[in-house]
Chains A and B, each alone.
Chain A
Protein backbone atom coordinates (compact mmCIF):
# COMPACT_ATOMS: atom_id res chain seq x y z
CA UNK A 1 0.00 0.00 0.00
CA UNK A 2 2.81 2.33 1.00
CA UNK A 3 4.60 1.57 -2.23
CA UNK A 4 1.51 2.40 -4.29
CA UNK A 5 1.02 5.70 -2.45
CA UNK A 6 4.70 6.54 -2.83
CA UNK A 7 4.67 5.76 -6.54
CA UNK A 8 1.52 7.84 -7.01
CA UNK A 9 2.98 10.75 -5.12
CA UNK A 10 6.21 10.49 -7.07
CA UNK A 11 4.31 10.65 -10.37
CA UNK A 12 2.26 13.59 -9.15
CA UNK A 13 5.31 15.53 -8.06
CA UNK A 14 7.20 14.68 -11.23
CA UNK A 15 4.31 15.94 -13.36
CA UNK A 16 4.12 19.16 -11.32
CA UNK A 17 7.85 19.75 -11.57
CA UNK A 18 8.06 19.10 -15.28
CA UNK A 19 4.97 21.15 -16.10
CA UNK A 20 6.62 24.08 -14.32
CA UNK A 21 9.75 23.93 -16.42
CA UNK A 22 9.37 26.04 -19.55
CA UNK A 23 10.07 24.11 -22.69
CA UNK A 24 12.78 25.90 -24.59
CA UNK A 25 11.64 25.97 -28.18
CA UNK A 26 13.96 27.68 -30.56
CA UNK A 27 12.23 29.25 -33.53
CA UNK A 28 13.72 28.33 -36.86
CA UNK A 29 14.54 30.74 -39.65
CA UNK A 30 12.51 30.37 -42.81
CA UNK A 31 15.43 29.84 -45.24
CA UNK A 32 13.72 31.35 -48.30
CA UNK A 33 13.58 34.80 -46.71
CA UNK A 34 17.36 34.94 -46.48
CA UNK A 35 17.57 34.85 -50.25
CA UNK A 36 14.82 37.46 -50.59
CA UNK A 37 16.57 39.89 -48.28
CA UNK A 38 19.99 39.32 -49.85
CA UNK A 39 18.61 39.70 -53.39
CA UNK A 40 16.82 42.88 -52.43
CA UNK A 41 20.03 44.28 -50.94
CA UNK A 42 21.95 43.25 -54.05
CA UNK A 43 19.54 45.10 -56.32
CA UNK A 44 19.66 48.23 -54.19
CA UNK A 45 23.45 48.24 -53.95
CA UNK A 46 23.75 47.54 -57.66
CA UNK A 47 21.75 50.67 -58.36
CA UNK A 48 24.18 52.71 -56.32
CA UNK A 49 27.20 51.51 -58.24
CA UNK A 50 28.13 53.53 -61.31
CA UNK A 51 30.96 53.35 -63.82
CA UNK A 52 32.74 55.94 -61.68
CA UNK A 53 32.73 53.69 -58.63
CA UNK A 54 36.12 52.49 -57.44
CA UNK A 55 37.55 49.13 -58.38
CA UNK A 56 37.43 48.12 -54.72
CA UNK A 57 33.67 48.71 -54.65
CA UNK A 58 33.16 46.75 -57.86
CA UNK A 59 35.30 43.88 -56.56
CA UNK A 60 33.41 43.78 -53.28
CA UNK A 61 30.10 43.79 -55.12
CA UNK A 62 31.20 40.87 -57.24
CA UNK A 63 32.23 39.01 -54.12
CA UNK A 64 28.92 39.80 -52.40
CA UNK A 65 26.98 38.73 -55.50
CA UNK A 66 28.93 35.48 -55.47
CA UNK A 67 27.90 34.96 -51.84
CA UNK A 68 24.27 35.41 -52.90
CA UNK A 69 24.75 32.75 -55.59
CA UNK A 70 26.29 30.43 -52.99
CA UNK A 71 23.41 31.19 -50.65
CA UNK A 72 20.94 30.17 -53.35
CA UNK A 73 22.87 26.95 -54.00
CA UNK A 74 23.02 26.15 -50.28
CA UNK A 75 19.29 26.61 -50.01
CA UNK A 76 18.72 24.36 -53.01
CA UNK A 77 20.76 21.65 -51.33
CA UNK A 78 19.05 22.27 -47.95
CA UNK A 79 22.36 23.20 -46.35
CA UNK A 80 20.96 25.74 -43.90
CA UNK A 81 24.17 26.17 -41.96
CA UNK A 82 26.12 27.25 -45.08
CA UNK A 83 23.18 29.35 -46.24
CA UNK A 84 23.29 31.33 -43.01
CA UNK A 85 27.00 31.94 -43.37
CA UNK A 86 26.67 33.09 -47.00
CA UNK A 87 23.75 35.33 -46.05
CA UNK A 88 25.66 37.04 -43.24
CA UNK A 89 28.78 37.43 -45.42
CA UNK A 90 26.81 38.91 -48.29
CA UNK A 91 24.96 41.34 -46.02
CA UNK A 92 28.21 42.42 -44.38
CA UNK A 93 29.68 43.20 -47.80
CA UNK A 94 26.60 45.05 -49.02
CA UNK A 95 26.76 47.22 -45.93
CA UNK A 96 30.47 47.86 -46.48
CA UNK A 97 29.87 48.82 -50.12
CA UNK A 98 27.11 51.25 -49.14
CA UNK A 99 29.40 52.78 -46.53
CA UNK A 100 32.14 53.20 -49.12
CA UNK A 101 29.79 54.73 -51.68
CA UNK A 102 28.32 56.95 -48.99
CA UNK A 103 31.75 58.26 -48.00
CA UNK A 104 32.71 58.80 -51.65
CA UNK A 105 29.72 60.99 -52.48
CA UNK A 106 29.58 64.68 -51.62
CA UNK A 107 27.35 65.68 -48.69
CA UNK A 108 25.00 67.76 -50.87
CA UNK A 109 24.36 64.76 -53.08
CA UNK A 110 23.67 62.56 -50.06
CA UNK A 111 21.19 65.08 -48.72
CA UNK A 112 19.39 65.33 -52.03
CA UNK A 113 19.17 61.55 -52.32
CA UNK A 114 17.97 60.96 -48.81
CA UNK A 115 14.23 61.12 -48.94
CA UNK A 116 13.86 60.67 -45.20
CA UNK A 117 15.78 63.65 -43.94
CA UNK A 118 13.63 66.68 -44.82
CA UNK A 119 12.02 68.72 -42.01
CA UNK A 120 8.56 68.18 -43.55
CA UNK A 121 9.22 64.46 -43.45
CA UNK A 122 10.10 64.69 -39.73
CA UNK A 123 6.80 66.43 -39.06
CA UNK A 124 5.00 63.82 -41.08
CA UNK A 125 6.57 61.17 -38.86
CA UNK A 126 5.62 63.15 -35.82
CA UNK A 127 2.02 63.09 -37.03
CA UNK A 128 2.21 59.34 -37.60
CA UNK A 129 3.38 58.83 -34.03
CA UNK A 130 0.64 61.08 -32.71
CA UNK A 131 -1.97 59.12 -34.68
CA UNK A 132 -0.71 55.91 -33.09
CA UNK A 133 -0.89 57.56 -29.68
CA UNK A 134 -4.50 58.65 -30.37
CA UNK A 135 -5.39 55.07 -31.30
CA UNK A 136 -3.98 53.87 -27.96
CA UNK A 137 -5.88 56.55 -26.04
CA UNK A 138 -9.09 55.68 -27.89
CA UNK A 139 -8.67 52.03 -26.91
CA UNK A 140 -8.60 53.11 -23.26
CA UNK A 141 -11.42 55.60 -23.60
CA UNK A 142 -13.82 53.36 -25.50
CA UNK A 143 -16.49 53.45 -22.80
CA UNK A 144 -15.65 56.86 -21.35
CA UNK A 145 -17.18 60.22 -22.12
CA UNK A 146 -14.06 61.69 -23.67
CA UNK A 147 -14.31 63.58 -26.93
CA UNK A 148 -11.69 63.12 -29.64
CA UNK A 149 -13.44 65.49 -32.09
CA UNK A 150 -10.90 68.31 -31.76
CA UNK A 151 -7.99 65.87 -32.01
CA UNK A 152 -9.50 64.31 -35.14
CA UNK A 153 -10.07 67.75 -36.69
CA UNK A 154 -6.45 68.74 -36.05
CA UNK A 155 -5.17 65.46 -37.50
CA UNK A 156 -7.17 66.08 -40.68
CA UNK A 157 -5.82 69.63 -40.85
CA UNK A 158 -2.23 68.45 -40.31
CA UNK A 159 -2.59 65.84 -43.07
CA UNK A 160 -3.88 68.51 -45.43
CA UNK A 161 -0.99 70.79 -44.51
CA UNK A 162 1.50 68.01 -45.21
CA UNK A 163 -0.04 67.42 -48.63
CA UNK A 164 0.06 71.13 -49.43
CA UNK A 165 3.47 71.69 -47.83
CA UNK A 166 1.87 74.33 -45.61
CA UNK A 167 4.17 76.09 -43.15
CA UNK A 168 1.42 76.12 -40.50
CA UNK A 169 1.95 72.42 -39.86
CA UNK A 170 4.25 72.94 -36.87
CA UNK A 171 1.65 75.07 -35.13
CA UNK A 172 -1.09 72.50 -35.77
CA UNK A 173 1.06 69.76 -34.29
CA UNK A 174 1.69 71.89 -31.19
CA UNK A 175 -2.08 72.42 -30.82
CA UNK A 176 -2.62 68.72 -31.24
CA UNK A 177 -0.12 67.98 -28.49
CA UNK A 178 -2.00 70.33 -26.10
CA UNK A 179 -5.35 68.68 -26.94
CA UNK A 180 -3.90 65.22 -26.37
CA UNK A 181 -2.37 66.21 -23.03
CA UNK A 182 -5.83 67.33 -21.94
CA UNK A 183 -7.41 64.08 -23.14
CA UNK A 184 -4.81 62.10 -21.25
CA UNK A 185 -5.48 64.08 -18.06
CA UNK A 186 -9.24 63.54 -18.47
CA UNK A 187 -8.65 59.83 -18.90
CA UNK A 188 -6.47 59.70 -15.80
CA UNK A 189 -9.15 61.52 -13.83
CA UNK A 190 -11.82 59.09 -15.02
CA UNK A 191 -9.57 56.13 -14.34
CA UNK A 192 -8.61 57.37 -10.87
CA UNK A 193 -11.88 56.24 -9.28
CA UNK A 194 -11.46 52.73 -10.63
CA UNK A 195 -7.77 52.82 -9.76
CA UNK A 196 -8.47 53.85 -6.17
CA UNK A 197 -10.99 51.04 -5.76
CA UNK A 198 -8.54 48.56 -7.21
CA UNK A 199 -5.74 49.85 -5.03
CA UNK A 200 -7.80 49.46 -1.84
CA UNK A 201 -8.96 46.00 -2.87
CA UNK A 202 -5.39 45.00 -3.68
CA UNK A 203 -4.09 46.19 -0.30
CA UNK A 204 -6.91 44.41 1.55
CA UNK A 205 -6.22 41.18 -0.32
CA UNK A 206 -2.53 41.44 0.42
CA UNK A 207 -3.10 42.03 4.12
CA UNK A 208 -5.43 38.99 4.31
CA UNK A 209 -2.83 36.91 2.57
CA UNK A 210 -0.08 38.10 4.92
CA UNK A 211 -2.24 37.34 7.93
CA UNK A 212 -2.65 33.77 6.70
CA UNK A 213 1.11 33.53 6.29
CA UNK A 214 1.55 34.42 9.92
CA UNK A 215 2.82 37.97 9.56
CA UNK A 216 3.64 40.00 12.62
CA UNK A 217 0.31 41.12 14.12
CA UNK A 218 1.55 44.52 15.23
CA UNK A 219 2.91 45.42 11.80
CA UNK A 220 -0.29 44.12 10.22
CA UNK A 221 -2.33 46.32 12.51
CA UNK A 222 -0.22 49.35 11.52
CA UNK A 223 -0.75 48.58 7.85
CA UNK A 224 -4.52 48.24 8.35
CA UNK A 225 -4.68 51.59 10.15
CA UNK A 226 -2.72 53.27 7.38
CA UNK A 227 -5.05 51.72 4.83
CA UNK A 228 -8.06 53.15 6.67
CA UNK A 229 -6.41 56.59 6.63
CA UNK A 230 -5.73 56.20 2.94
CA UNK A 231 -9.39 55.38 2.22
CA UNK A 232 -10.44 58.44 4.21
CA UNK A 233 -8.06 60.77 2.36
CA UNK A 234 -9.36 59.46 -0.98
CA UNK A 235 -12.94 60.03 0.14
CA UNK A 236 -12.02 63.59 1.18
CA UNK A 237 -10.26 64.24 -2.12
CA UNK A 238 -6.85 64.82 -0.50
CA UNK A 239 -4.92 63.09 -3.26
CA UNK A 240 -1.46 64.34 -2.29
CA UNK A 241 -1.85 63.00 1.23
CA UNK A 242 -3.36 59.79 -0.15
CA UNK A 243 -0.35 59.29 -2.39
CA UNK A 244 2.02 59.52 0.60
CA UNK A 245 -0.05 56.98 2.52
CA UNK A 246 -0.15 54.69 -0.49
CA UNK A 247 3.65 54.66 -0.61
CA UNK A 248 3.74 53.99 3.14
CA UNK A 249 1.40 50.96 2.88
CA UNK A 250 3.33 49.68 -0.11
CA UNK A 251 6.53 49.78 1.91
CA UNK A 252 4.90 48.08 4.92
CA UNK A 253 3.46 45.30 2.80
CA UNK A 254 6.79 44.77 1.04
CA UNK A 255 8.58 44.36 4.39
CA UNK A 256 5.92 41.98 5.72
CA UNK A 257 6.07 39.98 2.54
CA UNK A 258 9.86 39.63 2.85
CA UNK A 259 9.59 38.66 6.51
CA UNK A 260 7.12 35.86 5.81
CA UNK A 261 8.71 34.39 2.69
Chain B
Protein backbone atom coordinates (compact mmCIF):
# COMPACT_ATOMS: atom_id res chain seq x y z
CA UNK B 1 0.00 0.00 0.00
CA UNK B 2 3.04 2.29 0.16
CA UNK B 3 2.77 4.40 -2.86
CA UNK B 4 5.94 5.94 -4.15
CA UNK B 5 5.67 9.41 -5.53
CA UNK B 6 8.10 10.13 -8.26
CA UNK B 7 8.32 13.19 -10.49
CA UNK B 8 6.88 12.68 -13.96
CA UNK B 9 9.98 13.88 -15.76
CA UNK B 10 11.97 11.10 -14.12
CA UNK B 11 9.97 8.59 -16.21
CA UNK B 12 10.98 10.26 -19.46
CA UNK B 13 13.77 8.77 -21.42
CA UNK B 14 16.62 11.20 -21.78
CA UNK B 15 16.98 12.32 -25.33
CA UNK B 16 20.16 11.30 -26.97
CA UNK B 17 21.03 14.65 -28.44
CA UNK B 18 20.50 16.35 -25.15
CA UNK B 19 18.62 19.27 -26.69
CA UNK B 20 16.37 21.40 -24.55
CA UNK B 21 13.35 21.00 -26.86
CA UNK B 22 10.50 19.01 -25.49
CA UNK B 23 9.13 16.58 -28.07
CA UNK B 24 5.40 16.48 -28.77
CA UNK B 25 5.05 12.87 -27.70
CA UNK B 26 6.45 13.83 -24.35
CA UNK B 27 3.81 16.51 -23.90
CA UNK B 28 1.07 14.07 -24.72
CA UNK B 29 2.49 11.48 -22.39
CA UNK B 30 2.93 13.88 -19.54
CA UNK B 31 0.03 16.33 -19.88
CA UNK B 32 -2.82 14.91 -21.83
CA UNK B 33 -4.82 13.00 -19.36
CA UNK B 34 -8.15 11.47 -20.24
CA UNK B 35 -10.08 13.42 -17.60
CA UNK B 36 -8.81 16.69 -19.01
CA UNK B 37 -9.82 15.66 -22.49
CA UNK B 38 -13.22 14.63 -21.22
CA UNK B 39 -13.67 17.91 -19.42
CA UNK B 40 -12.87 19.72 -22.65
CA UNK B 41 -15.38 17.63 -24.57
CA UNK B 42 -18.05 18.18 -21.91
CA UNK B 43 -17.57 21.95 -22.17
CA UNK B 44 -17.82 21.65 -25.95
CA UNK B 45 -21.02 19.63 -25.70
CA UNK B 46 -22.57 22.06 -23.23
CA UNK B 47 -21.67 24.94 -25.49
CA UNK B 48 -23.39 23.29 -28.47
CA UNK B 49 -26.93 24.49 -27.75
CA UNK B 50 -25.67 28.06 -27.43
CA UNK B 51 -23.84 27.77 -30.73
CA UNK B 52 -27.00 26.49 -32.38
CA UNK B 53 -29.29 29.08 -30.83
CA UNK B 54 -28.97 31.50 -33.76
CA UNK B 55 -32.07 32.02 -35.85
CA UNK B 56 -32.87 29.76 -38.75
CA UNK B 57 -35.69 29.77 -41.26
CA UNK B 58 -37.76 26.65 -40.85
CA UNK B 59 -40.24 26.99 -43.70
CA UNK B 60 -40.84 29.46 -46.46
CA UNK B 61 -43.81 29.59 -48.81
CA UNK B 62 -44.14 32.09 -51.62
CA UNK B 63 -47.10 32.99 -53.79
CA UNK B 64 -46.61 35.02 -56.95
CA UNK B 65 -49.61 37.07 -58.07
CA UNK B 66 -50.16 37.82 -61.72
CA UNK B 67 -49.00 41.43 -61.34
CA UNK B 68 -45.62 40.22 -60.11
CA UNK B 69 -46.14 40.98 -56.43
CA UNK B 70 -45.24 38.13 -54.10
CA UNK B 71 -46.64 37.02 -50.78
CA UNK B 72 -44.10 35.53 -48.38
CA UNK B 73 -44.89 33.36 -45.40
CA UNK B 74 -41.93 32.36 -43.34
CA UNK B 75 -41.54 30.46 -40.08
CA UNK B 76 -38.36 31.28 -38.22
CA UNK B 77 -36.74 29.73 -35.19
CA UNK B 78 -35.35 32.56 -33.05
CA UNK B 79 -33.23 32.85 -29.94
CA UNK B 80 -35.67 32.90 -27.04
CA UNK B 81 -33.10 34.71 -24.92
CA UNK B 82 -33.08 37.70 -27.24
CA UNK B 83 -35.44 40.66 -26.85
CA UNK B 84 -35.62 41.50 -30.54
CA UNK B 85 -35.11 39.64 -33.72
CA UNK B 86 -33.93 41.41 -36.85
CA UNK B 87 -35.32 39.67 -39.90
CA UNK B 88 -33.86 40.45 -43.30
CA UNK B 89 -36.61 40.92 -45.83
CA UNK B 90 -36.11 40.26 -49.53
CA UNK B 91 -36.55 43.88 -50.57
CA UNK B 92 -37.69 47.36 -49.61
CA UNK B 93 -41.19 47.53 -51.06
CA UNK B 94 -43.15 45.80 -48.31
CA UNK B 95 -46.91 45.71 -47.71
CA UNK B 96 -49.18 43.99 -45.20
CA UNK B 97 -46.39 42.96 -42.83
CA UNK B 98 -47.56 40.86 -39.87
CA UNK B 99 -45.34 39.08 -37.35
CA UNK B 100 -46.94 36.43 -35.16
CA UNK B 101 -45.43 34.82 -32.09
CA UNK B 102 -46.29 31.61 -30.32
CA UNK B 103 -49.99 31.19 -29.42
CA UNK B 104 -50.91 33.48 -32.36
CA UNK B 105 -49.83 36.63 -30.57
CA UNK B 106 -49.38 39.69 -32.76
CA UNK B 107 -45.81 40.93 -32.34
CA UNK B 108 -44.71 44.54 -32.66
CA UNK B 109 -42.34 45.18 -35.52
CA UNK B 110 -40.58 48.09 -37.11
CA UNK B 111 -39.42 48.01 -40.71
CA UNK B 112 -36.38 49.99 -41.79
CA UNK B 113 -35.44 49.49 -45.43
CA UNK B 114 -35.19 45.73 -45.83
CA UNK B 115 -34.93 44.78 -42.16
CA UNK B 116 -37.84 44.13 -39.82
CA UNK B 117 -37.03 44.39 -36.13
CA UNK B 118 -39.52 42.23 -34.30
CA UNK B 119 -40.04 42.24 -30.54
CA UNK B 120 -40.00 38.52 -29.90
CA UNK B 121 -39.72 38.58 -26.07
CA UNK B 122 -39.10 34.94 -25.39
CA UNK B 123 -40.75 33.41 -28.44
CA UNK B 124 -38.71 30.62 -29.90
CA UNK B 125 -40.67 30.40 -33.14
CA UNK B 126 -42.23 33.29 -35.00
CA UNK B 127 -43.99 33.52 -38.34
CA UNK B 128 -43.95 36.48 -40.63
CA UNK B 129 -46.25 37.34 -43.52
CA UNK B 130 -45.73 40.13 -46.02
CA UNK B 131 -46.19 41.16 -49.62
CA UNK B 132 -43.19 42.28 -51.60
CA UNK B 133 -42.79 43.91 -54.99
CA UNK B 134 -39.06 43.40 -55.54
CA UNK B 135 -38.79 39.76 -56.51
CA UNK B 136 -40.36 39.79 -59.96
CA UNK B 137 -39.34 41.94 -62.90
CA UNK B 138 -40.74 42.09 -66.42
CA UNK B 139 -39.12 42.55 -69.77
CA UNK B 140 -41.24 42.28 -72.88
CA UNK B 141 -43.47 39.29 -72.32
CA UNK B 142 -41.08 37.61 -69.93
CA UNK B 143 -41.54 37.82 -66.18
CA UNK B 144 -38.50 36.93 -64.10
CA UNK B 145 -38.58 35.80 -60.50
CA UNK B 146 -35.24 35.97 -58.68
CA UNK B 147 -34.44 34.90 -55.13
CA UNK B 148 -31.49 33.78 -53.07
CA UNK B 149 -33.31 31.70 -50.48
CA UNK B 150 -31.88 30.70 -47.10
CA UNK B 151 -33.82 27.44 -47.13
CA UNK B 152 -35.82 25.18 -49.43
CA UNK B 153 -39.13 26.83 -50.25
CA UNK B 154 -42.36 26.39 -52.14
CA UNK B 155 -43.36 28.75 -54.91
CA UNK B 156 -46.92 28.98 -56.20
CA UNK B 157 -46.86 30.37 -59.72
CA UNK B 158 -49.60 32.68 -61.02
CA UNK B 159 -52.60 31.25 -62.82
CA UNK B 160 -52.14 30.75 -66.58
CA UNK B 161 -48.38 31.16 -66.30
CA UNK B 162 -45.99 28.90 -68.14
CA UNK B 163 -42.37 28.51 -67.09
CA UNK B 164 -40.04 29.03 -70.05
CA UNK B 165 -36.71 29.39 -68.26
CA UNK B 166 -35.16 28.10 -65.07
CA UNK B 167 -31.69 28.37 -63.60
CA UNK B 168 -32.15 25.96 -60.69
CA UNK B 169 -33.43 22.43 -60.58
CA UNK B 170 -36.76 22.14 -58.79
CA UNK B 171 -37.11 19.44 -56.16
CA UNK B 172 -40.76 18.83 -56.84
CA UNK B 173 -43.78 20.16 -58.69
CA UNK B 174 -47.53 19.79 -58.27
CA UNK B 175 -50.68 21.41 -59.57
CA UNK B 176 -52.80 23.25 -56.99
CA UNK B 177 -56.03 24.85 -58.18
CA UNK B 178 -54.72 24.86 -61.73
CA UNK B 179 -51.56 26.65 -60.60
CA UNK B 180 -48.07 25.20 -60.58
CA UNK B 181 -46.43 24.84 -57.20
CA UNK B 182 -42.71 24.21 -57.19
CA UNK B 183 -40.48 23.08 -54.38
CA UNK B 184 -37.16 24.81 -54.89
CA UNK B 185 -33.80 24.35 -53.19
CA UNK B 186 -32.06 26.98 -51.07
CA UNK B 187 -29.64 29.28 -52.83
CA UNK B 188 -30.01 31.52 -55.84
CA UNK B 189 -32.62 30.70 -58.44
CA UNK B 190 -34.19 32.47 -61.39
CA UNK B 191 -37.45 31.48 -63.01
CA UNK B 192 -38.71 33.00 -66.25
CA UNK B 193 -42.37 32.68 -67.13
CA UNK B 194 -44.93 34.04 -69.53
CA UNK B 195 -48.70 34.15 -69.45
CA UNK B 196 -50.72 32.19 -72.00
CA UNK B 197 -51.25 34.49 -74.95
CA UNK B 198 -54.77 35.78 -75.61
CA UNK B 199 -54.11 36.10 -79.30
CA UNK B 200 -52.45 33.51 -81.38
CA UNK B 201 -49.92 33.82 -84.09
CA UNK B 202 -51.67 32.79 -87.28
CA UNK B 203 -51.53 29.06 -87.90
CA UNK B 204 -49.62 28.46 -91.07
CA UNK B 205 -52.01 27.30 -93.75
CA UNK B 206 -51.36 26.63 -97.44
CA UNK B 207 -53.45 29.72 -98.30
CA UNK B 208 -50.90 32.00 -96.61
CA UNK B 209 -48.27 30.90 -99.07
CA UNK B 210 -50.41 31.44 -102.18
CA UNK B 211 -49.28 34.21 -104.44
CA UNK B 212 -51.46 36.06 -106.94
CA UNK B 213 -50.68 33.57 -109.72
CA UNK B 214 -52.11 30.79 -107.64
CA UNK B 215 -55.23 32.85 -106.98
CA UNK B 216 -55.72 33.33 -110.74
CA UNK B 217 -55.21 29.61 -111.34
CA UNK B 218 -57.61 28.84 -108.49
CA UNK B 219 -60.20 31.17 -110.00
CA UNK B 220 -59.88 29.48 -113.36
CA UNK B 221 -60.26 26.08 -111.76
CA UNK B 222 -63.36 27.30 -109.92
CA UNK B 223 -64.93 28.62 -113.12
CA UNK B 224 -64.14 25.34 -114.83
CA UNK B 225 -65.66 23.53 -111.89
CA UNK B 226 -68.88 25.54 -112.12
CA UNK B 227 -69.14 24.88 -115.86
CA UNK B 228 -68.47 21.23 -115.27
CA UNK B 229 -71.13 21.12 -112.55
CA UNK B 230 -73.71 22.67 -114.84
CA UNK B 231 -72.79 20.19 -117.52
CA UNK B 232 -73.09 17.28 -115.16
CA UNK B 233 -76.41 18.48 -113.82
CA UNK B 234 -77.71 18.71 -117.32
CA UNK B 235 -76.66 15.20 -118.00
CA UNK B 236 -78.56 14.22 -114.81
CA UNK B 237 -75.83 11.95 -113.72
CA UNK B 238 -75.15 11.40 -110.10
CA UNK B 239 -72.03 13.21 -108.86
CA UNK B 240 -69.46 11.93 -106.49
CA UNK B 241 -68.32 14.04 -103.54
CA UNK B 242 -64.88 15.59 -103.88
CA UNK B 243 -64.22 14.80 -100.28
CA UNK B 244 -63.60 11.48 -98.68
CA UNK B 245 -65.20 10.69 -95.39
CA UNK B 246 -63.58 8.41 -92.87
CA UNK B 247 -66.17 6.67 -90.75
CA UNK B 248 -65.36 4.42 -87.87
CA UNK B 249 -66.83 1.04 -88.69
CA UNK B 250 -67.04 -0.13 -85.11
CA UNK B 251 -68.82 2.97 -83.83
CA UNK B 252 -65.67 3.84 -81.92
CA UNK B 253 -63.79 7.13 -82.29
CA UNK B 254 -61.53 7.42 -85.28
CA UNK B 255 -58.01 6.11 -84.94
CA UNK B 256 -55.37 8.85 -84.50
CA UNK B 257 -53.51 7.60 -87.58
CA UNK B 258 -56.64 8.04 -89.73
CA UNK B 259 -57.05 11.58 -88.38
CA UNK B 260 -53.41 12.43 -89.01
CA UNK B 261 -53.70 11.15 -92.60
CA UNK B 262 -56.75 13.27 -93.24
CA UNK B 263 -55.26 16.30 -91.50
CA UNK B 264 -51.59 16.21 -92.48
CA UNK B 265 -51.00 19.80 -91.31
CA UNK B 266 -51.78 19.06 -87.65
CA UNK B 267 -49.42 20.49 -85.06
CA UNK B 268 -47.36 18.09 -82.99
CA UNK B 269 -48.94 19.22 -79.72
CA UNK B 270 -52.42 18.75 -81.19
CA UNK B 271 -51.43 15.23 -82.23
CA UNK B 272 -50.41 14.52 -78.64
CA UNK B 273 -53.81 15.74 -77.48
CA UNK B 274 -55.60 13.47 -79.96
CA UNK B 275 -53.51 10.48 -78.91
CA UNK B 276 -54.32 11.10 -75.28
CA UNK B 277 -58.06 11.51 -75.89
CA UNK B 278 -58.11 8.37 -78.03
CA UNK B 279 -56.29 6.33 -75.38
CA UNK B 280 -58.70 7.70 -72.80
CA UNK B 281 -61.61 5.98 -74.53
CA UNK B 282 -62.13 8.68 -77.14
CA UNK B 283 -63.19 11.39 -74.74
CA UNK B 284 -61.77 13.49 -71.93
CA UNK B 285 -62.73 16.47 -69.85
CA UNK B 286 -60.93 19.68 -70.74
CA UNK B 287 -59.76 19.90 -67.12
CA UNK B 288 -58.19 16.44 -67.48
CA UNK B 289 -56.31 17.62 -70.54
CA UNK B 290 -55.06 20.65 -68.65
CA UNK B 291 -53.79 18.47 -65.84
CA UNK B 292 -52.20 15.96 -68.18
CA UNK B 293 -50.41 18.52 -70.34
CA UNK B 294 -49.90 21.10 -67.57
CA UNK B 295 -51.39 23.83 -69.69
CA UNK B 296 -53.15 26.97 -68.51
CA UNK B 297 -56.90 27.14 -69.02
CA UNK B 298 -56.77 29.59 -71.94
CA UNK B 299 -54.04 27.71 -73.78
CA UNK B 300 -55.89 24.42 -73.56
CA UNK B 301 -59.17 26.06 -74.51
CA UNK B 302 -57.59 27.43 -77.66
CA UNK B 303 -56.12 24.04 -78.53
CA UNK B 304 -59.48 22.35 -78.08
CA UNK B 305 -61.28 24.99 -80.15
CA UNK B 306 -58.67 24.57 -82.88
CA UNK B 307 -59.37 20.85 -83.07
CA UNK B 308 -63.10 21.52 -83.08
CA UNK B 309 -62.74 23.95 -85.97
CA UNK B 310 -60.94 21.26 -87.92
CA UNK B 311 -63.86 18.93 -87.31
CA UNK B 312 -61.75 16.42 -85.36
CA UNK B 313 -63.49 16.69 -82.03
CA UNK B 314 -66.79 17.85 -80.63
CA UNK B 315 -67.27 19.67 -77.34
CA UNK B 316 -70.17 18.92 -75.06
CA UNK B 317 -71.15 20.44 -71.74
CA UNK B 318 -71.20 17.90 -68.94
CA UNK B 319 -71.79 19.01 -65.33
CA UNK B 320 -70.63 22.52 -66.18
CA UNK B 321 -67.45 21.10 -67.67
CA UNK B 322 -66.30 20.72 -71.25
CA UNK B 323 -66.26 17.14 -72.41
CA UNK B 324 -64.06 16.74 -75.47
CA UNK B 325 -64.85 13.79 -77.74
CA UNK B 326 -63.19 12.54 -80.93
CA UNK B 327 -65.70 12.43 -83.76
CA UNK B 328 -66.67 9.15 -85.32
CA UNK B 329 -66.44 10.48 -88.85
CA UNK B 330 -64.17 12.98 -90.44
CA UNK B 331 -64.17 14.54 -93.86
CA UNK B 332 -60.90 14.95 -95.63
CA UNK B 333 -60.16 16.69 -98.90
CA UNK B 334 -58.71 14.56 -101.69
Residues of A in contact with B (beta carbons under 8 Å apart): 6, 9-10, 13-14, 16-17, 20, 22, 27-30, 33-34, 36-37, 39-41, 43-52, 84, 87-88, 91-92, 94-95, 98-99, 101-103, 109-110, 112-116, 121-122, 124-126, 128-130, 132-133, 136-137, 139-140, 142, 187-188, 191, 194-195, 198-199, 201-202, 205-206, 209, 250, 253-254, 257
Contacts and interface: CB of A to CB of B under 8 A. Distances in A.
B184 to A, nearest CB: 10
B221 interface: no
A87 to B, nearest CB: 7
A6 B197 CA distance: 73
A41 B163 contact: yes
B84 to A, nearest CB: 7
B95 A50 contact: no
Nearest to A13: B41
Given A9-B38, A10-B38, A40 B67 contact: no
B108 interface: yes
Contact of A129 (B65, B172, B200): B65
A203 to B, nearest CB: 8
Given A137-B98, A188-B108, A43 B293 contact: yes
A29 B169 contact: yes
A37 B170 contact: yes
Interface of B: 34-35, 38, 41-42, 44-45, 48-49, 51-52, 63, 65-69, 71, 81, 83-84, 95-96, 98, 100, 104-108, 119, 121-122, 129, 131, 139-143, 152, 158, 160, 162-167, 169-173, 183, 185, 192, 194-202, 204, 208-209, 267-269, 293-295, 298-299
B163 A133 contact: no
Contact of A113 (B122, B162, B197): B197
Nearest to A20: B48
A198 B122 contact: yes
Contacts of B268: 46
Nearest to A93: B165
A139 B106 CA distance: 10
B294 to A, nearest CB: 5
A168 B151 CA distance: 42
A129 to B, nearest CB: 5
Given A94-B164, A195-B108, A114 B195 contact: yes
Contacts of A187: 106
A116 B173 contact: no
A133 B49 CA distance: 36
A250 B84 contact: yes
Nearest to A100: B140
Contacts of B198: 112-113, 115
A94 to B, nearest CB: 5
B269 A43 contact: yes
A13 B45 contact: yes
A80 to B, nearest CB: 10
B165 A46 contact: no
A33 B169 CA distance: 10
A126 to B, nearest CB: 8
B165 A202 contact: no
Contact of B169 (A84, A112, A115, A188): A84
A195 to B, nearest CB: 7
Given A88-B166, A188-B106, A6 B122 contact: no
A185 to B, nearest CB: 11
A102 B141 contact: yes
